[in-house]
Structure 1
Amino acid sequence: MNKFLLSFSLFFFSQKLFSQSLKFEQVTNEIEKSSNLADKESIEFLEKIKQDWNKCKYPKDSNLAKINHFIGRRYRFLGLDNKNDKFLVKAIAYTLEAVAINSQNKKYISEQNLANSYLNLGLLFYESENQNLKESKKYLEKALALSKKFISKIDISFQASDLLSRISISEGDYSRSIKYSQISKKIAEDLKNTEYLLASITKLSESYQKLGDLKNAKGVLWSALSLSSSPKTKNENHFYGEVYSNLAILESSEQDFLEMSKYFKKSYFFFYKAESNYGMAMVKNNWAYILWQNGFDSQALHLYKESLEIVENINLKVRIHDNISVLYSKIGNYSNAIYHLTEAFKLYNINYNNQIVSKYTPVFLKVENKGYLLDLFVNFSKILKQDFKKNNETRFLQNGINSLFNADHLVDFMRQEHTGTLSKYFWRNKTRSLYENAIETCYLLRDYEKAYYFMEKSRAVMLNDKLNELGAKQKLNETDQEKERDFQRKIIELNTKIEAETKATEKEKLNSQLFDLQEQQERFVKSLETKYPAYYQLKYNTQIGTLKQMQAYLKTNFKDKNANMVSYFFGDSASYAMVISPTKAEVKQFKYDVAQNQEFVNFLATNQGTKADFARILSMGSVIYQKLIKPLNIPKGHLIISQDGVFMPFEALSSSAASAQYLLKDYAISYTYSGQFLLKKAVETKFWPNQSFVGFAPVEFNNQLNSLKTSDLTLGNVAKNYWFSNTFTGKVATKAKFLQQAKDHKIVQIFTHAFADSLDTEPKIYFADDALKISELNAEDQFNTQLLVLSACKTGVGKLAKGEGVLSLARGFSMLGIPATITSLWSVEDKNTYQLTELFYIYLNQGLSKDEALQKAKLEFLELHPNAGPTDWACMVLVGQTLQLNNNTPVLLVLSVIFVISIIAGGLYFDRNRRAA
């Protein structure tokens, strides 16, 4: 039957159908016959059926939804074939109508058909010219969640998870991409579909590679090569091209250039068979990049230009222009470098004129691969800075600063989009060069206001985000707060089960459950952002304090006392120290090997206390002092240090290599994760007298740890400083009791064991019955505590995340809103820890600020132990607010006594009057 006859018969059927009032369930099979028509004819036929359906006033059921869905699908094909966004807009409108009908909870409504419409909406928002990834992800996630409920929709599950993985990669959310790729890979394996499996594996490998997990990246690629020795379809050839291209990149990272070249050639061969210009251009671009990195500039430029001639994909074209620009700037050809960057910006519809783009600009939403745009901004600023050094024109630097502000705004934007913690840490590490470049540019301009801004944005931003989120949660009602906490608890429980599970099949099931739970949590949190505008605004507040605010903080909180803050940044090419006083600020540039800090801390933690060891401590400390402190000319008094990288006890540095001239004697030193951390206002809470102090000393542990036999006695001595105190010792010092009691006490003291290292081991602190992991703190409410003292080893130790700092237990508690923590950097003899702690509380209760109290305690310790080295006393450091704690217990006690006396006196008065009567 030719198309004309088919079209005529379908039209005749539509007339007969509605004239004879057939049951509307029978329409479905006839609708599907429209698939044999061309797109426009099919749309006309379906539109006629829809008009007659509405004219006959048939119910809005799944058949009507199907009509709309089919019309939407045909408009999508027209839009893609003709590259006309108007058709895609119509496709979205019809598909949304189908969704509205199938979302009704009524008879004759088929929920499972929603999965198809959700998928189509996800594709449409992704494919449209005004690409809307936010809407695309929303509908793809709905398609994935719904299709899991119906076996017949397994193909929908694959397509949704596969596209979600692709979008996650483009947004730089690699940990999330891994999750979606694992889902699509499992579905592909169940379906025994080679193309699907290859598609999943290439995305999974790329995500592992981006996160630095080269072992897993290579492993999944080799598993792909075992699937087939001879790809049969264009798609299979394309995916094999991607597999070999990724293998080539991995081999280059291991400096095996012979294998790299072999794999690039194979990759190009398979892309050629697949007739993929994108693939062939990608191979040439990647190969050129590696050649350029190894000094083969002319060969690299030749390959770049070849790839630019054949590439059609906008994102890859942007990447190639950017790479050519970097190559030209390397050889000093800045005009050509800027030309290629300008061409790259044009491809993203950005007419770049060095102006600061608002962080809320729609430009960021439209760009699919935001990592590429970030590189454009950063590289543009680098080229302008190099041009300045050549021509000494300040305007180049100012334009470069504008470009770096755009990059910084984009980083904020990306961080809000990312859900995976690993992805966030990846981008904090990747953007470190951005901030080094920005700080250097500000230094050259002598613009210390902006230097302070970029210093702050270079550190502990995720901690700031967490504190913003804590504040935002106060805007939720109690029901929603409890639901959010419940999600966190369930996630923690599942993670614990996964960690303990040894069977691979069971582990896989638990991981699947965890992913589903995390998806539910994310949907719930997104609903809160819509439901509570104030919650959204506080949560995503990316503003930071200014230099003037930091100076006002120093002036207000230290008054007539000398107070300075030093913020360090240790870069690859140069290091910087910004010294801030209440009245001025200055940036110093110098060369420094930051590895000396870790080496010094390691030696303090492990030395045996011999004379030779003591001499080496003084020598090492003196060398660091000469570099980091002496050139800054900081007046004696209070010193706040914002460190970069490992926490090092500056008070242990000596101005002399011959004798112990510790900084401790001249400065009351405290530390902060950032200036912004100090400027955060703690929750104002009025503590009852019995909530002034709470202490925990388990003494004995269920974890085969050494007993801390005198810790309960020391806790008792400390508690005597307070009129009202609560102490939990022995078996009652449990994890549950700590979580129940600690958050509502002003001061929390813990004598216990802790464990942390600089690798991936999660820090934990031990109680009588169980250990508390840092991840478990995520489920806790904001602590009202004003000071937490962790008298346990290594509570300030943890994995170093570049751009964020040390992920220690102390930092974990800081994320709960605790403004000040005393933490330890290494293991010390118990008696030394206990004595230092007792001395600290004595001075604290004399009304001294926290930094002065700790300084006095250490100085008195040295007087009591003249031969003690920094190993014995420098491990305890104060992080956060230094302000003195107003001890209102005596005042309340006096008021209570007056109140009681008043009652007794009143009773006696009335009794005397009664008797007189």
Structure 2
Amino acid sequence: MAEADSLFTHSQFDEAFKLFESNAESFYGNGDQENYIYCHLRMAACEIGKGEIDAGVFRAEQSLEHIREYLEDTTSIIAQAHMVVGSGYLHVGRNDLALENLLLAEPYLEEKTLNKAECLEEIGVAYWNNGNRDLALQFHERALDIRRKIDQIPASLIGDSNNNIGLVYLNEEPLQSIIYFNRAVDLYQDNPEQNRRKIALCYVNIAYANAELANYMEALEYLDRMDSIWADIYDGPHGNKAFVLNNRGRIYKMKGDFNQALVYQQEALKMYLNIHGEKHPDVANTFLLIGQIYQQKGDYERAAINYQRSVYSNLYDQSFADLYSNPEIKNFYNADILLTSLQSKAKAMEALHFEKSLKKRDIDGALTSYLLCDELISIIRQTRINEADKLRLAGIAAEVYENGIYIAQYLSEHSFKKKEYLKIAFEFAERSKAALLLQAINDTNAKHFAGIPDSELALEDSLKVEIDLLDQMLMQDISDEERERIKGQVFEYQRALRDFVSGLEEKYPSYYQLKYDTKLASVWDVQASLTDEEWLLSYFVGEKKIFVFSITSDKYQLFDVDKPEKFNSQVIGMRNTIKYRMEEENRSISKQLYQLLIPKMEKGKSSLTILPDGLLSTVTFESLIDEEGSYLIERIAINYDYSATLYLQKPLEQLHGDMSALLVAPVEFDANSGMSDLPSTEKEVNEIRYLLSGNGLTVDVSLHEQASESNVVHKLEEGYRYLHLATHGMVDEDHPGQSSIYLNADQSGDGRLYCSEIYSTKINSNLVSLSACETGLGKISQGEGVIGLSRALKYSGAQNLLVSLWQVNDQSTSELMISFYKNHLYHSDKEGYRDDLRKAKLEMIRSEKYSDPYYWAPFILIGR
């Protein structure tokens, strides 16, 4: 049987199949049921390798039944059977069934074996297919690590791992992918004759990567090498041949030769249809590519028809009718291809309407396609697992929502259903805002309402803590060997966490239902929540337009303005001219941005809620200067939030520390931290303690060495209405999870409360004040806004946040904070904190010493 296994390892499937078949007959005659079934599973794998997928899956499923009937100790061989079934489903694009079987197999395969590595590799491919790029990379790297440690392993298997890692990098980092593909080719050269198929596939991948880098001639040269190889290996049609045709067409399209591109894509389509029939992700992808060529040629109707065919080829139980039929978003092969097809169809029908037909049904069809995209994005969000993959989807979704807003606005102006289309426009904008934060908060709330015991939630928290600690270790300067060891631990903890969450969903059905039952706030919900004095502005920053949603209790308007060519520079410049006290330049930029961003204000408005988008999250709207030369804060109180849904969301539970406050100030910092001492913070904290205790609150103060990380985290578990942290904050835009609040180190902690640790901490305070530098900043992510400390605090339960956008003199900060609390405790005649902050800022504006916006502008209120 060793010879058959060797032939299989080197992809010589016909020869291997015959040997396994012969061995199976011998084992059956001897009554050796286990080896008989093993041979049939290998025969099934050979059939899958040859492209005879249905036959292979059928044989493997028959073997599963045989195992259950004839064998007693079935764990290992059932795992192998599930692995073969999963592999088969992977080849026909059924990633859902593939993952279901592969994940059943993986835990029961013996550690540090070729079988284990192969299963991990195929799970990685399945995750890559459904858009979980970062998770796929983890599985491929784990498979590679196992293979490297096995003695006398064929070099081709190491090559397979490198090839798969290259595929993960292919679209976003083509240069990195070429490095891995070339490593794979070098490893396959260990036995070039046996590895011809694998070398050929690497050449296709290298060609694809070169095309991404616009090296078209080099890409075509690699494809030319393929023709003789495939002609020698395959007599008739084959998916690998079609894939080469597909790539030729793609390269010619990128070169601008659309006619030649169309010829190759149509040949590829004919071959794919011959092999797979109408229903397959490869067929769907080729229809999509043909549609893109027609769109480039300006034939929008043909483009739209091919996109529609792509949609229905991706749905395995729905049939194509015509251009205007609308599919149900369910039972699809590849979500990413389906999303691109629907989005492309919407663009084609939009172009068909404006440039040719002017028929309302075409522009209606475009809007309907965007609504279907939105429905699909909501489904995909449930399958994205890692944060990076979720953020990648948010970036793609932002383009869908921008186009959807534009068309809904256009239809509102050209139909009798103005309100209905404006409602849709707002819903698109709302879906684009902080969807991941809302999903995370919704998940926490679902656990609460589903009645999951604290003991189970504590286990989840402990797994997250371990992952955070390991991630921090990976940020250090460590050896390659240590890095690989830690990455292996991260992999195991993350797998345990995924299994734990899956177990919760199965054990508590109400948790699963509530987790994904996200009701977004409508424009009517917002209007119902506003008083006559309140005004809300929600922004969506697109590629060419900025959309401004203006909402009061009795009026809803949608404005759009052309986005200036240097808009990003203006926004960054505004912040920098304040930060570096460039008065003349700041006044000019602030006036320009006011004219761009602020609609005409109605009389009688005393408060303004800003829901920013993207880079606007770094703008201090308070310091915008109106046509009369006044700061906006002089006219109206201002607060911020991530989205209307989060703004209207009620607290999960009543605060158990309703009449208490925790005030924290390390004051001095370790010289090794690189942070300067903050002597004024001690006076600030003592003054706030005096104010709060004078109003009947129980005040807990942690100063100097008492302001240690472990002590503060422990105290937070008790719950406080007010949490005031007068200390430094550090933002890491490249690694948001490593952003931190500086405290004092002790035996239990390094003195830095990391963003990732805050996510695992229950704060539930009514107000968290971060009297620190740049605590409101973080990584700007399209569709998600600022990802940093304030976001983590919001997730951990903070209802309102007072944070800063740049480092400010600690004396002026202290005075503003004391003034803010005085206003809140003694002078406030309104609910919330925005009016109190406005009064504190106005005091500084009217003072001689701190009137410059440098001192008061950076502090913003997230909440009310």
Normalised by the length of structure 1, the TM-score is 0.81
Aligned pair partner of 2:250 in 289, 292, 295: 289
Q: Determine the structure 2 residue equivalent to 1:899.
A: none
Paired position in structure 1 for 2:429: 455
| 1:504 is aligned to 2:480 | yes
In structure 2, the residue matched to 1:55 is none
CA change 1:636–1:679 in 2 (3 A) is closer
Question: What is the aligned partner in structure 2 of residue 778 from structure 1?
Answer: 759
Structure 1 position 826 matched with structure 2 position 806: yes
Q: Determine the C-alpha separation between the residues in 2 that align with 1:398 and 1:529.
A: 38
- Distance apart, 1:522 and its partner CA: 0.9
**1:115 correspondence with 2:75:** no
| Aligned residue-pair number | 806
Equivalents in 2 of 1:81, 1:282: separation in Å?
16
Q: Per-residue deviation at 1:697? A: 0.5
Structure 2 counterpart of 1:401, from 363, 367, 371: 367
Q: Give SS of 2:187's match.
A: coil
Q: Residue in 1 aligned with 2:153? A: 192
Report the alpha carbon displacement of residue 337 of structure 1 after superposing the two structures with TM.
Answer: 1.4
Is it true that 1:752 corresponds to 2:727 in the alignment?
yes
Distance (Å, rounded) in 2 between the aligned partners of 1:333 and 1:148: 56
Shift of 1:655: 1.7
In structure 2, the CA distance between the partners of 1:269 and 1:164, relative to structure 1 (3 Å rule), is: farther
Contact 1:696/1:749 (<8 A) preserved: yes
What does residue 628 of structure 1 align with? 597
Q: Contact 1:432–1:802 at 8 Å: present in 2 too?
A: yes
Within the alignment, does 1:472 sit opposite 2:421 as a pair?
Answer: no
CA distance in structure 2 between the aligned counterparts of 1:239 and 1:114, rounded to whole angstroms: 29
Deviations 1:355-393 (A, max 9, x none): 66555x3x23xx1x2211111111111111112213222
1:512 deviation in Å?
Answer: 1.0
C-alpha offsets along residues 274-319 of structure 1, whole Å, 9 cap, x if unaligned? Answer: 5484334334433433443453333332332343343346322322
Question: What amino acid maps onto 1:874 in structure 2?
Answer: A
Q: Is the 8 A contact 1:241 1:268 kept in 2?
A: no
2:648 counterpart (675, 679, 688): 679
TM-score scaled by length of structure 2? 0.86
Q: Give unpaired runs (5+ residues) of structure 2.
A: 1-16, 413-420, 746-750
1:159 is displaced (CA, Å) by 2.1
Structure 1 800/280 Cα, relative in aligned 2: closer, same or farther at 3 Å?
Answer: farther
Alignment counterpart, residue 180 of structure 1, candidates 139, 142, 145: 139
Structure 2 residue identity aligned to 1:378: Q
Contact 2:140 2:164 in 1 (8 A): yes
Cα separation, partners in 2 of 1:638 and 1:865, compared to 1, 3 Å? same
C-alpha distance in 1 between matches for 2:268 and 2:43: 35
User: Do the aligned residues in 2 keep the contact of 1:604 with 1:870 (CA within 8 Å)?
Assistant: no
Instruction: Determine if contact 1:579/1:632 at 8 Å carries over to the other structure.
Output: no
The residue aligned with 1:95 is 64
1:164 aligns with 2:123: yes
Q: How far off is 1:564 after superposition?
A: 1.9
Deviation, structure 1 residue 114: 4.3
From the superposition, tell whether residues 259 and 871 of structure 1 become closer, same or farther in structure 2 (CA, over 3 Å): farther
State the match for 2:187 in structure 1: 227
Which residue identity lines up with residue 495 of structure 2 in the other structure? Answer: E
| Paired residues of 2:537 and 2:551 also in contact (CA < 8 A) | yes
Residue 206 (structure 1) aligned with residue 138 (structure 2): no
Contact 2:723-2:769 within 8 A present in 1 as well: yes
Whether the aligned pair in 2 keeps the contact of 1:654 and 1:663 (CA below 8 Å) is yes
CA gap of 1:633–1:378, structure 2 versus 1, over 3 A, is farther
Amino acid at match of 1:775: S
Aligned pair 1:140/2:102, yes or no? yes
2:3 aligns with none
Give yes or no for contact 1:654–1:661 (8 Å, CA) kept in 2: yes
CA contact (8 A) 1:641 1:669 kept: yes
Q: Matched residue of 1:765: which SS?
A: strand
Equivalent residue number for residue 374 of structure 1: 339
- The Cα shift of 1:626 comes to 1.4
Question: Which residue number in structure 2 is paired with residue 495 of structure 1?
Answer: 471
CA shift for structure 1 position 110:
6.4
Question: What is the aligned partner in structure 2 of residue 705 from structure 1?
Answer: 675
* Match of residue 833 from structure 2: 850
Q: 1:215 to 1:766 in 2, by over 3 A?
A: farther
Per-residue deviation at 1:573? 3.3
SS across alignment from 1:500: coil
Equivalent position amino acid for 2:707 in 1 = A
RMSD: 3.3
Tell me: CA distance 1:216–1:865, structure 2 relative to 1, closer, same or farther (3 Å). Answer: farther
Q: Secondary structure at the match of 2:846?
A: helix
The C-alpha deviation readout for 1:212-258, integer Å capped at 9, x for no partner, is 34453233223224325586346x33333343333334344444444
Q: Report Cα offsets for 1:795-822 as digits up to 9, x if no partner.
A: 1111111111111211111122322211
Matched to 2:349, the amino acid is L
Aligned equivalents of 2:715, 2:515: Cα separation in 1: 27
Pick from 296, 306, 324: which aligns with 2:290?
324
Contact 2:95 2:130 in 1 (8 A): no
8 Å CA contact retained: 2:681, 2:726: yes
CA contact (8 A) 1:748 1:787 kept: yes
* Change over 3 Å in CA distance of 1:662–1:200 after alignment to 2: same
Which residue identity is paired with 1:695?
L
Measured after TM superposition, the shift of residue 516 of structure 1 is 1.3
Map 1:429-578 to 2 at 5 A: 429-446=395-412, 447-474=421-448, 475-500=451-476, 502-554=478-530, 559-561=531-533, 563-578=534-549
8 Å CA contact 2:40, 2:59 repeated in 1: no
Corresponding residue for residue 52 of structure 1: none
Cα distance in 2 between the residues matched to 1:439 and 1:427:
18
**Cα distance, 1:82–1:749 mapped onto 2, change above 3 Å:** closer
Say if 1:111 and 1:684 are closer, same or farther in 2 by CA, change over 3 A.
closer
Say whether the 8 Å CA contact 2:803–2:860 is kept in structure 1: yes
Residue 134 of structure 1: how far off its partner (Å):
3.7
Cα contact 1:418–1:424 (8 A) shared by 2: yes
Gaps of 5+ in 1: 1-31, 50-62, 103-107, 883-917
Equivalent in 526, 549, 561 of residue 590 of structure 1: 561
| Separation in structure 2 between the aligned mates of residue 117 and residue 76 of structure 1, nearest angstrom | 10
1:699 and 1:712 in contact (8 A); partners too = yes
How far is 1:67 from its partner?
Answer: 6.7
Counterpart code for 1:716? N
**SS of 1:726 mapped into structure 2:** strand
Question: Aligned in 2, Cα 1:574/1:296: closer, same or farther, shift over 3 Å?
Answer: farther
AA aligned to 1:506 is: E
> Are 1:334 and 2:300 matched, yes or no?
yes
Q: 1:246 aligns with which of 205, 210, 231?
A: 205
Equivalent runs, 1:270-309 vs 2, <5 Å: 271=230, 274-275=233-234, 277-309=238-270
Letter in 2 for 1:727: V
Counterpart CA distance in 1 for 2:210 and 2:860 is 44
1:577 CA displacement: 1.4
For 2:9, the equivalent position in structure 1 comes to none
Query: Using the alignment, how far apart are the partners of 1:291 and 1:593 within structure 2?
Result: 35
CA 1:747–1:383 in 2, change beyond 3 Å: closer, same or farther?
same
SS at match of 2:724: strand
Q: Are the aligned partners of 2:137 and 2:165 in contact in 1 as well (CA < 8 Å)?
A: yes
Structure 1 residues 250-259 or 319-328, which shifts more? 250-259
Q: What amino acid maps onto 1:416 in structure 2? A: Q
Shift of 1:172: 0.8
Quote the Cα distance in structure 1 between the aligned partners of 2:80 and 2:502: 23
Q: 8 Å contact 1:240–1:270 — kept in the other structure?
A: no
Q: Are 2:98 and 2:126, in contact at CA under 8 Å, matched by a contact in 1?
A: no
Q: Please, which moves more after superposition, 595-604 or 720-729?
A: 595-604
How big is each residue's C-alpha offset from its partner over 1:869-898, in whole Å with a ceiling of 9 and x where there is no partner? 222211011112x1xxxxxxxxxxxxxxxx
Report the AA paired with residue 793 of structure 1: C
Q: Which letter does structure 2 place at the counterpart of 1:820?
A: N
Equivalents in 1 of 2:816, 2:100: separation in Å?
A: 55
Distance 2:301 2:575 in 1: 52
Cross-structure match for 2:178:
218
| Aligned match of 1:58 | none
Task: Answer with 336-345 or 76-85: which moved more.
Answer: 76-85
